[in-house]
Structure 1
Amino acid sequence: MERTQLQSTVTKNMRVALAANGLQQKDLANALGITSASMSAKFTGRTMWNLVDIEKASGFFHVKPEALVAGHGFEPWTSGL
């Protein structure tokens, strides 16, 4: 998967996870230990998601990291959401 496509997919899946849990970007920023400005940069594509971000976010959302990278696991029948 191309890097920009991967970043776009992770961003989309982060948005889905936030919405599904009724959370905001600032909640995710707190969980990742970064500022709201840094989180905004990730969501707008100015900075990239890294493996540490994905690992921390997967714990925060209680999903496997693969769910944030590939999108699998957000389906209502597999995620428990």
Structure 2
Amino acid sequence: MAAEEPLLRSLLPKVPDEDVLRLRNAVTDGVRRGGPHLVLGLLQHPEPAPGRDHLYARLPPPARWARRMLMNKFRKILKDLKAD
């Protein structure tokens, strides 16, 4: 049983077990699993992580050069996730 299934079962008690598995798969299949923009963004948001500058200094030059673009992509994702 996956970690999400008990939560789904408690939220949807009348749903048959086979549908809970289908719902879990539908929820988790669309989740972003990573990317450099997420790594860099989460080092800075909501507050700078300890050792962030040390890590930034050791990134390969192309990643350092693209940092502003990656942070903009991260901020756009945060903006898109906000509920209206």
What is the TM-score with the length of structure 1 in the denominator? Answer: 0.29
**Which structure has the higher relative contact order (CA within 8 Å, separation 6+)?**
1
If you compute each CA radius of gyration, which structure gives the higher value, 1 or 2? 2
Give TM-score scaled by structure 2 length. 0.28
